[in-house]
Every structure is written in C-alpha cells, then in structure tokens.
Amino acid sequence: MRITSTRLSDGRELRYYDEDSLPERTAVDERGLEPGSTEQGRMRFDALTGEWIAIAGHRQGRIFLPSAAECPLCPSSPGKLSEIPEESYRVAVFENRFPSFQSGGTEIPDTDRVPAWGEDLPAYGRCEVVAFSDDHTGSIASLDSAHMSLVMDAWIDRTRELGELPGVRFVFVFENRGAEIGVTLHHPHGQIYAYPYVPPWARGVLEQAARADLDGRPPLLADLVEAERASGERIVWQDEHWIAFVPYAARWPFEVQIHPVTDRSSLTDLTPAERESFCRFYPLLVRALDSLFDASLPYMSGWFQRPAHATEAEARDSRLFLRMVSNRRAADKLKVPAGSETLMGAFISDVPPEQAAERIRTTLESTS
C-alpha cells in the first residue's frame, strides 16, 4: 500500500491510498482556489449539559446534493475539475473545505473544566472527507475486500496521524449514508472528525466503564461482548476475529455493533488478519442491510476507539468497536427522534432487538 500526500490549490492536504502496483499520483489541482475562510469557528460550553457546542456559521454555504456533473468527489476530467485532481483513484482523503473544526490547535485543550460564563474556545481540530472510490454510484456495499482494505488503511493512517496532533482529543472515523440521514453528497464517502474534546457519547461510555472498574465489576466493554456471545440471541455473524450483533438495548430500528474478539483499543492496534477479516465481512453486511427493504438503507456508522492523548484510565477502559444505526423502521417509515428522544434523551424503540437480529441474520445468509 502506498500513500501519496499532496496539496490542493488552496493549501488543504490531499492523500491517495493505492496498491503499490498503481502508477504514481502526480496530477495538480488547477482550480486556483483562494485559501478558505480565515474565520475561526468557536466552541461554547452548554452549562445545562456540560457539553461543548461548535458554532460554525461559515458552513451554511456548503454544497447540497449536487448532481453527478458537479460532484466534488468524482475524479477530475478536462473541463470538470473536482476536489480530486487525478482522472481516477482508489481511495482519497482530503481536508473538508467547510470544516466544523479547523487546524491550528497547539496544545491539549482543557475542555474538562467548567469555563467562566461566556468564555468560549477556538474550535480547533480537523475535518476530513474519505472518498471510498471514484465511482459516483457505488457504496461500501460494492467494494471488494482489496478495495475495502485501502479504505481501512486510510482510516488507520488518519487515526494515527490526527491522533498525534497536539490539539486533538478524539479521532472519530464515521460514515453518514443516505439523503434520509441528511447526507449532502451522494458520492460514496465517509468522514473523519478530529475533535478537540472527548465527545459526549464516548465520554459517557468511558464514565460507565470507570464506574464498573470502581465497583469491582469486570471491564465493561469486554464483559458486554462476552455476554452477547454467551446469549447468542442477537448475534448476526462471527468468526475468530470479530463478532457482530444487534445490541441488547438497541435504540434504533436497526443497529449493529461489530467488536473485535480480542481486546483492541484503536484501529491502529488491529492485526493484518483482523483487518482482512473485517474487510471481507463489512461490505457483505452493508449489502445485506440494503436488501432488508430492497433499497439502499440510510445509516450512520462510526468507530469508538481510544481517545487521543488518552489518560491512563481512558487507555485502560477503551475497547475498539464499530456502531451502525439506521433510522428506517419500515419500507416507507423512518424513525424520527422527536420530543422524548431529542429533548429528554429518552429513547423508545419500536423494533425488538431479537427481531431485528433475526432479519439481518437471515438476509446475511442469503447475501454474497
């Protein structure tokens, strides 16, 4: 695998991930873009919840569901210059032109204390786009395992590199797919947010794990995986490296977690055999999910992993896993988190997790 790092005309970084056999990537961005907004986004502390909110007013102008002819993720061709100068590519990662978190942090931000009223912080960090393929119409489901491997190489490379930036506390590798989930670009792609804080959900998991440790219970995440394995009711697939299940307390109509069998705390810890197994299984799972309703399933998918610059407790309690959720509850119905979920965080699920697991397992068995 070969990484080529280059710069777009406005200075943003672009990286190609290729098999060694492919020709060198030498194309130059000829758009002559002006450097992006120098307006620094800010973060404000929500005293009611103890959470930081990024205020990114400069993003309102971003592109919304462009046609294929205007797609910024398609490769460039004469007369149609995109974010990716090459005429073809395998996997490419570049800095988002409208980032919620901008480069520039020079130290680990102290986001754990309660700030004085009105004291905001710069929204340092980094937002990147991961173009999975140069085919505008594909998706993870259409990648073979060699191609999926390059995607995973990109995830691992970015986790390592962004996690070393001084202003970053968590590297979140994720994908939003489907207009029903608010996706503004159809071209198959994921994203990476390097947050300047440990985001609330991850912090919550680490708090639950620390509480288990304090109570003398077994390590939370390993214990959970073991309990799901022992129960077996919600498992949709497993091999010697991974186990995939609908979680016991799923809150979305379709929700799958994929955990390594052996303790790994970050994408960077995976062995070659684990990577290979995941890259064979994951596109298959997405194909199976797409056959549930005979239509591309809208989903959000993202990795929980060890925070960057982790404290000792964070390192002890972190255990890598992937979480996928879909808001489709029937062929013609979406689950919309409304008052109970959005205002109070109280989730009501309409689909018993065992039923969802049974449907996914059956569909997966007939998918290849």
Position among 72, 174, 238, 268 found at the interface with a second copy (CB under 8 A):
174
The catalytically annotated residue of 147, 189, 241, 259 is 189
111 near a second copy, rule: CB under 8 A: no
- For residues 247-266, which are near a second copy according to CB under 8 A? 247-251
* Rounded-to-integer distance, Cα 239 and Cα 18, Å: 28
Is the Cβ–Cβ distance between 283 and 145 less than 8 Å?
Answer: yes
Q: 31-50: which residues touch a second copy (CB under 8 A)?
A: 44-50
Token pair belonging to 296: 């591309």
Contact window for a second copy (CB under 8 A) among 85-93, 141-149, 199-207, 260-268: 199-207
Tokens of 321: 């896993």
Q: Per-residue string for binding with a second copy, 221-240, x by CB under 8 A?
A: x-xx--x---x---------
In angstroms and rounded to an integer, the radius of gyration of the C-alpha atoms of the chain is 21
For 128-261, where are the alpha helices, taking DSSP H only?
145-163, 200-214, 220-231
- Residues for the chain: how many in total? 368
Size of the site for a second copy (CB under 8 A): 82
Residue numbers 310-329 binding a second copy by CB under 8 A: 323, 325, 329
- Rule CB under 8 A: say whether 208 interacts with a second copy: yes
Cβ nearer to a second copy, comparing 10 with 51: 51
Q: Residues 91-110: x/- map of binding to a second copy (CB under 8 A)?
A: ---------x----------
> Can you tell me which of 30, 70, 239, 350 binds a second copy, judged by CB under 8 A?
350
Judged by CB under 8 A, the chain residues 48 through 67 that form the site for a second copy are 48-57, 59-60, 64
Instruction: State which residue, 89 or 310, has the beta carbon closest to a second copy.
Output: 310
Of 279, 289, 295, 298, the residue nearest 360 (C-alpha): 289
C-alpha distance from residue 343 to each of 44, 49, 202, 340 (Å): 19, 12, 20, 6
> Can you spell out the DSSP letters for 9-43?
TTS-EEEEEE-TTSPP------S-PPP---PPPEE
CA distance 26 to 234: 48
Amino acid letter at 363? Answer: T
Identified binder of a second copy from the candidate list 78, 118, 216, 272, rule CB under 8 A: 118
From 117, 294, 331, 368, residue interacting with a second copy (rule: CB under 8 A): 117
Q: Is 136 a catalytic residue?
A: no
Of residues 4-23, which lie at the interface with a second copy (CB under 8 A)? none
Catalytic residues: 189
